[in-house]
Amino acid sequence: MSIMAAPGVKIGLEIHCQLTSLKTKLFCGCSSDYRDREPNTLVCPVCLGIPGALPVVNGKAVECAVMAALALNCGVSGRMFFFRKNYFYPDMPKNFQISQYDRAGGVPLAVNGYLHIEVGKKRKKIQISRVHLEEDPGKLVHLGSIDQSPYTLVDYNRAGIALLEVVTEPDLRSPREARVFLQRLRSILEHLGVFDGGLEGAMRCDANISLAGGTRVEVKNISSFKEVERALSFEIMRQKDLVEKGLAVERETRHWDEARRLTITLRTKEEEQDYRYFPEPDLVPIVITRDFVESARAKMPELPEARMKRFVEEYGLPGYDAGVLVGEKALADFFEDCVKLYHEPKEVSNWMMSDLLRCLYENNLELPESKITPAHLVEMIRLIEEGVISGKIGKRVLPEMVLTGRRPHRIVEERGLVKITSRKMLEETVERVFAENPKAVEDALMDEKTVHFLVGQLMKATGGKADPQLANQIILERLKEVMKKKQGK
Amino acid sequence: MPSLWELTARETVEKIKTGETTAEECVLSIFERIRQVEGRVHAFVTLMEKEALEKARAVDEKVSKGKPLGKLAGVAVAVKDNICIRGTRTTCSSQMLENFVPPYDATVVEKIKGEDAVIIGKTNMDEFAMGSSTETSHFGPTHNPWNPSTVPGGSSGGSGAAVAAGEAVLALGSDTGGSIRCPASYCSVVGLKPTYGLVSRYGLIAYANSLEQIGPFAKSVYDCALFLDVIAGHDSRDNTSVKVPLKDHTEFLKEDVEGLKVGVPKEFFGEGVSEEVEKCVWNVVYQLEELGAFRGEVSLPSLEYALPAYYVIAMSEASSNLARYDGLRYGYRIGRDEKDWSTVYSKNRRVGFGDEVRRRIILGTYALSAGYYNKYYLKALKVRTLIRRDFEAAFKKFDVLVGPTMPIPPFKIGEKIQDPLALYMCDIDTVPANLAGLPAVSVPCGLLGVLPVGMQIIAPPFREDLILQVGYAFEQSTTYKDRRPPLG
Amino acid sequence: MKKRLISKEEVEHTAWLARIELSEDEKALFTRQLNEILDYFQKIDEVDTEDVPPTFHVLDLVNIYREDEVHPSLPAEDVLKNAPKKEKRFFRAPSIV
């Protein structure tokens, strides 16, 4: 969905990413594997907020968060503590969230970072104001949509899951930039190994949007990349509409309704939350030494920027291609796995960037959701190299591999897609084609450039299986014969 | 010949070990005593007779099989009703948690069970530990065994009264601003607030988490030391729990205090302290001198601001700690959910919480709210730093500091409850130790008629040995521990 | 007559923030009592705390963590045992509007 130009759009994002690599929740030992579980089966006194229970910090979460902060080029704080963010809501077991704050004596985990994104040909720096840790609330389940249910059911399995909050400055200028930013962030966190963006609900965000120096509106409940462009586009249009009518844009918090695809008022300025932040007395401060930071830095795996450079240097890929491949860790990994089996990086890259990506897009799949494996793609490319099938056939086999995971060999055999290389067979078919298309033959005799029509007809007659080079050759030979005959007459 | 319920913990364990008596006999004697006096005292919210006898029999079986016994074998222990016991309702003396049954044991409960103690019941308290007289309990006040028309102190009034009345040999309480020491003083028993971090808070239903600790009530300083050692110790489930080498505090109990430097802060004898109490406590100081101590006066000027600072901090933390009580996962809930969640929550909390709790939550919310945070909460935390510094300076010159636990003797039930501020003033001498996280004990030091007076002894962090040593030496030189309330 | 530190409206707003309903009588009583108590709290203004850091924690402890190892969660029956209203395995909340 494209957005018409709106003057001076400023978008800032507040992104919550679950640290999905952790085995347990942030403050207790309950398993973090909450998806598709029976409700309220992964809770304990701590994450359920039972009276008397106390939180204890998951050390690995701090490590992951510091690595993420470094990957985002932030300055990591030397000493920080957790704060309570106090508000009532049924998904909150304690009616306060243990989080971090950057005022009232509070210091978040990391500040002043940045990320580069590429939009079209432009490279842009997006500033990150802070990164910190906090806990996820539980989940509300409604019968029907949010404003129609008689009551709400609550499942606290997700309560207490570790979240990394990343807050940007309002440097983004369009919904597209926002989506690109999120994809970049996802790729970085996936390369770090702390996050799996394929898990449902693992990344959620809120956005702050204003137009040309106007009032800032907060939009909450954006649950995925796809939704972010839609939600932001809607909101920009809504604000633009108001401005054009001469009406005021209210400073407020709105909720993105995914089903109805619109934002609705959640809270007005009068009802603005007063979170009454104060330091969490039950948790002692965290001191991050320089040694800890350096050892975290040393442990950091290869990040997308570095990987992209390596793809260019090591595999000779064009910068653009390398950029697309590292845009998603799964793609980059798939690429390198293929190249390990078949040392033609450009060939692999071409197939991935064009047909594979297109096929995934058309079927609304992410690569890990599809059934194709690196071994199979390589096998298919080899079949083409060996002349068993043509490139064109390859393009037909690929989608089936993606959707069913069957080996290309099998597909080719069963569908009889082997390239026809038998001269005799092709010559027979050429005779037929020539007989059926006398005018085309005449045209071709006069202008060789129009021979492609005949080639096309031959391909059609052979179900695309004719070896294109041989087909071309035979047709040209035949045309010469016809010419000779004519001349001989 | 004393009845079994009159024995100390030390005596109980010894007699059970030698076979002179059995755990079951001791526990039956306790319940007999409870039947005799509980109607007048009202120390308990829930009695656990069945569970207690089961545990007592289990202890006796261990004895008969020659198995090693725990340090509290067969000892009847009462537990304040804000400490979670699995399977037994834990109410905080509030309608909000009237039917709440915890699915887990507090760490201290695990520890005392592990030492073969027999838990006999949950004791009455001020609602959610907010009070100094046990008058805000939803289940009605506890009466001071020494004079039932007076308060037993609070908020652990039930625990203090139970031990004083012989309804328990030992009891657990919690102390946020004096809630163990105050009832200990008013009921003439020993009550100790440990150094912050010494005893795990896991399972203590929070009121003000940066200030509170669970601590022991006992009939004697020895028993108190014994009990403290059982409940103290690092707990990985409590982030504010410290790892310190554990001492055997009973080893520090001697009958003299030779060479000990005892400081007497002049601020402990401020305006609100009654003359009789002052005289009583000064007698103690002279007595300590007789026993070999050096006495000196000292000033901690910031103590003048301790009480308002304490209340700002406590109420602020409480407003957040009690936010979870909304009737959704547990707790009081109105009958019909006709309205939206916000209104239902507000109604649940209106009925579930008593006046004092609601007042403190609202004040605490106010103190933390935008625009007031710096003025109240942050300012109070700075005052807290000054108080810690004053104590540190005083402890450079003195080993311990002493003064009255309470500024006035036990007052009549109903006398102060209509005036919240007047009640808050009772905490004037106890809150400083909570603000600074220091260990403090109250030992009986006098009787004004039948009304008990207690003396407070404070030491540097993790020096419970010093306060117990001073307490023991004083105790052994008087007869207060042998006095019994006139309950019959 | 001392200046009122907290008005009735502020008491109402704060009570709403704290989700505690008050009757009209209670609002009046609480406003009076809270003013008295807050007046007493002003005492801390008297002391100079310039350059004094606040004490957030009395202990000197830092970096107390736990391992990222799974521990058993509560058995299902224990979780919902105290719930006043429930439906199947969920807690039942009043509606979200």
- Closest of B187, B275, B194 to residue B238, by C-alpha: B194
> CATH number for the domain including A470?
1.10.10.410
Whether A199 and A269 map to the same domain: the answer is yes
Contacts of A290 (CB under 8 A, 6+ apart): none
Residue-wise burial string across A240-278, b where 16 or more C-beta atoms lie within 10 A, e elsewhere: bebbeeeeebeebbbbbbbeeeebeebeeeeeeebbbbb
Q: Is the pLDDT of residue A272 over 70?
A: no
The answer to whether the CB of B319 falls within 8 A of the CB of B365 is yes
Does A377 lie at the interface with C, CB-CB under 8 angstroms? no
Taking only the tens of pLDDT, chain C with its 97 residues reads 456 889 999 999 999 999 999 999 999 999 999 999 999 999 999 999 999 999 999 999 999 999 999 999 999 889 999 999 998 899 999 877 5
**Contact status of C77 with chain A (Cβ, < 8 Å):** no
pLDDT at A149: 62
Reported as a pLDDT band with limits 50, 70 and 90, residue A464 is: confident
- Burial status of residue B304 (CB atoms within 10 A of its CB: 0-12, 13-18, 19 or more): middle
Q: Domain span at residue A313?
A: 302-414
Query: For A94, which residue in chain B has the nearest alpha carbon?
Result: B324
Residue B174 has pLDDT above 50, yes or no: yes
Other beta carbons within 10 angstroms of residue B338's beta carbon come to 10
How many CB atoms sit inside 10 A of residue B114's CB? 12
Whether A193 is covered by a domain: the verdict is: yes
Compute the distance between CA of residue B344 and CA of residue B341 in angstroms, rounded to an integer.
Answer: 5
Residue B441 in tokens: 């004990």
Is residue A3 packed enough to be buried (19+ CB in 10 Å), middle (13-18) or exposed (0-12)?
Answer: middle
Residues of B catalogued as catalytic: 80, 155, 179
Label residue A489 by pLDDT band (50, 70, 90): low
What pLDDT shows up at residue B158? 98
**In the prediction, which pLDDT does A2 show?**
46
Distance CA B341, CA B318 (A): 22
User: Does a structural domain hold residue A210?
Assistant: yes
- Residue A4 located in a structural domain: no
List alpha helices for B175-214, DSSP H. Answer: 181-187
All residues of chain A having their beta carbon less than 8 Å from the beta carbon of residue C67 are: 59-60
Chain A residues closer than 8 Å to B209 by CB: 281-282
- CB contact residues (below 8 A), chain A span 197-226, against chain B: none
Residue of A27, A54, A101 for testing the chain B interface, max B β-carbons within 10 Å:
A54
* Encoded tokens for A405: 């995971």
The span from the CA of A237 to the CA of B76, in Å, is: 72
| Mean pLDDT, residues A152-163 | 96
Place A448 in a pLDDT band, splitting at 50, 70 and 90: confident
- Residue of B238, B329, B342 lying closest to A88 (CB–CB): B342
Q: How far is C1 from chain A (nearest CA, A)?
A: 31
φ, ψ (nearest 5 deg) of residue A81: -135, 170
User: How far apart (Å, rounded) are the C-alpha atoms in residues A337 and A376?
Assistant: 11
By the CB < 8 Å criterion, does A279 face chain C?
Answer: yes
Subunit partners of chain A (3 or more CB pairs within 8 A): B, C
The answer to whether the CB atoms of C21 and B388 lie below 8 A apart is no
Question: Can you tell me the mean pLDDT for B143-159?
Answer: 97
pLDDT at A454: 84
Across the beta sheet with A83-86, the strand order is A96-99, A83-86, A278-279
Confidence of residue A392 (pLDDT cuts 50, 70, 90): confident
Query: At B466, is the secondary structure helix, strand, or coil?
Result: helix
- What chain A residue is nearest to B319 in terms of C-alpha separation? A86
Please give the full DSSP string across B211-249, using - where no structure is assigned: T-EEEEEESSHHHHHHHHHHHBS--TT-TT----PPP-G
Judge whether A139 and A157 are in contact, CB under 8 Å.
Answer: yes
pLDDT of residue A100: 93
Q: Which of C66, C77, C87 to mutate to test the interface with A (most CBs of A within 10 A)?
A: C66
Residue A2 lies in a domain: no
User: Is the CB of B337 less than 8 angstroms away from the CB of C53?
Assistant: no
Which phi and psi (to 5°) does residue A313 adopt? -75, -50
Say how far apart CA B32 and CA B26 lie, in whole Å: 10
Any idea which of A73-87, B260-274, B334-348 has the lowest mean pLDDT? B334-348
**Burial group, residue A298, by CB count within 10 angstroms (0-12, 13-18, 19+):** exposed
Contact A91, A139 (CB under 8 A): yes
From A55-59, A471-475, B170-174, the region with the lowest mean pLDDT: A471-475
Interface residue A331 vs chain C (CB under 8 A): no
CA distance A155 to chain C (A): 6
The mean pLDDT value of chain A amounts to: 90
pLDDT single digits (tens) B6-18: 999 999 999 999 9
Chain C residues close to A48, C-beta within 8 Å: 74, 79
Across the interface, whether the CB atoms of A86 and B320 are under 8 A apart is answered yes
Tell me whether C16 touches chain A (CB under 8 Å). Answer: no
Sign of CA dihedral B385, B390, B396, B400: negative
* Residue A124 confidence (pLDDT) above 80: yes
Q: Which residues contact A301 (CB under 8 A, 6 or more apart)?
A: A191, A192, A193
pLDDT tens digits, one per residue of A352-373: 999 999 999 899 888 988 999 9
pTM (two decimals)? 0.91
Are B305 and C83 an interchain contact pair (Cβ–Cβ within 8 Å)?
A: no
Per the DSSP assignment, residues forming a β-bridge with A218 are: A208, A253
Chain C touching partners, 3 or more CB pairs below 8 A:
A, B
Cβ(A183)–Cβ(A205) below 8 Å? no
Rg of chain A in Å (alpha carbons): 29
**What is the reported pLDDT for A1?**
40
B48 vs A263, higher pLDDT: B48
Interface test with C, best of A23, A26, A40 (most C CBs within 10 A): A40
User: What's the helix, strand, coil split of chain C in %, to 5?
Assistant: 40, 10, 50
Model confidence pLDDT, tens digit, residues B307-337: 999 999 999 999 999 999 999 999 999 988 7
Number of Cβ pairs < 8 A linking chain A and chain B: 102
pLDDT per residue as tens digits for the range A78-94? 998 899 999 999 999 99
Residue of C14, C55, C92 lying closest to B381 (CB–CB)? C55
Domain count, chain A: 3
Q: What is the DSSP letter of C69?
A: -
- What's the topology of domain C1-47? Histone, subunit A (1.10.20)
Res B412 pLDDT > 80: yes
Closest CB to B205 among A51, A56, A94: A51
Reduced to 3 states (helix: H, G, I; strand: E, B; else coil), residue B90 is: coil
DSSP conformational letter for B370: T
Same domain for A64 and A182, yes or no, is yes
Listing from the earlier edge strand, what are the strands of the sheet with B213-218?
B44-47, B118-123, B76-80, B170-175, B213-218, B190-193, B440-448, B451-458, B400-404, B261-265, B294-298
| A154 and A276 belong to one structural domain | yes
Per the domain annotation, does A356 fall within a domain? Answer: yes
Q: What gap in Å lies between CA A406 and CA A415, rounded to an integer?
A: 13
Residue C78: C-alpha distances to residues B127, B272, B330, C82 (Å): 25, 49, 11, 8
Q: Nearest to residue B51, comparing CAs of B109, B10, B131?
A: B109
**Candidate CATH numbers 3.90.1300.10, 3.40.50.300, 3.40.190.10, 3.40.50.800; the one for domain B4-261+440-482:** 3.90.1300.10
| Residue A3 belongs to some domain of the structure | no
B196 contact residues in C (CB cutoff 8 A) = 58-59
Pairing relationship of beta strands A278-279 and A83-86 according to DSSP bridges = antiparallel
Q: What Rg value do the Cα atoms of chain C yield, rounded? A: 23
> Please, are residues A70 and A76 in contact by the beta-carbon 8 Å criterion?
yes
Q: Do B320 and A283 touch (CB under 8 A)?
A: no
CA A157 to chain centre: 26
Mean pLDDT for B372-383 is 95
Q: Give the residue among B26, B52, B464 at the shortest CA–CA distance from B227.
A: B464
Task: Answer for the pair A39, C90: CB distance below 8 angstroms, yes or no.
Answer: yes
The 3-state secondary structure of chain A reads CCCCCCCCCEEEEEEEEECCCCCECCCCCCECCCCCCCCCCCCCCCCCCCCCCCCCEEHHHHHHHHHHHHHCCCEECCEECCEEEECCCCCCCCCEEEECCCCCCCCCCEEEEEEEEEECCEEEEEEEEEEEEEECCCEEEECCCCCCCCEEEEECCCCCCEEEEEEECCCECCHHHHHHHHHHHHHHHHHHCCCCCCCCCCEEEEEEEECCCCCCEEEEEECCHHHHHHHHHHHHHHHHHHHHCCCCCCCEEEEEECCCCEEEEEEEHHHCCCCCCEECCCCCCEECCHHHHHHHHHHCCCCHHHHHHHHHHHHCCCHHHHHHHHCCHHHHHHHHHHHHHCCCHHHHHHHHHHHHHHHHHHCCCCHHHCCCCHHHHHHHHHHHHCCCCCHHHHHHHHHHHHHHCCCHHHHHHHCCCCCECCHHHHHHHHHHHHHHCHHHHHHHHHCHHHHHHHHHHHHHHCCCCECHHHHHHHHHHHHHHHHHHHHHC
Using the beta-carbon criterion (under 8 Å), do C44 and B312 form an inter-chain contact? Answer: yes
Inspect the interface and report whether the beta carbons of A284 and B239 lie closer than 8 Å.
yes
How many residue contacts between B and C have a Cβ separation below 8 Å?
164
Distance CA B211, CA B341 (A): 32
Say what the pLDDT of residue A258 is: 87
Name the least confident of B69-78, B194-203, B263-272, B451-460: B263-272
Whether C21 contacts chain A with CB within 8 A: no
Q: How confident is the model at residue A412 (pLDDT cuts 50, 70, 90)?
A: confident
* Contact partners, residue C24, CB within 8 Å, separation at least 6: none
- Rounded to whole angstroms, the Cα distance separating A33 from A310 reads 35
Instruction: Report chain A residues whose CB lies below 8 A from the CB of C96.
Output: 90, 140, 142, 146, 149, 152
Whether the pLDDT of residue A122 is over 90: the answer is: no
Q: Say if the Cβ atoms of C65 and A57 lie within 8 Å.
A: yes
Q: How far is B320 from chain A (nearest CA, A)?
A: 7
Cis ω before B155 (30° cut-off from 0) = yes
Q: Are residues A350 and A400 in the same domain?
A: yes
| A28 and A169 belong to one structural domain | yes
Name the nearest CA neighbour of B83 among B66, B59, B99, B107. Answer: B107
What type of residue is A320? Y
Q: What is the mean pLDDT of residues B20-37?
A: 97
> CB distance A153–C92 less than 8 Å?
yes
Contact B202 A104 (CB under 8 A): no
- Residue spans per domain, chain C: 1-47
Tell me which amino acid residue A37 is.
R
| CB within 8 Å: A50 and B104 | yes
**DSSP label of B372:** T
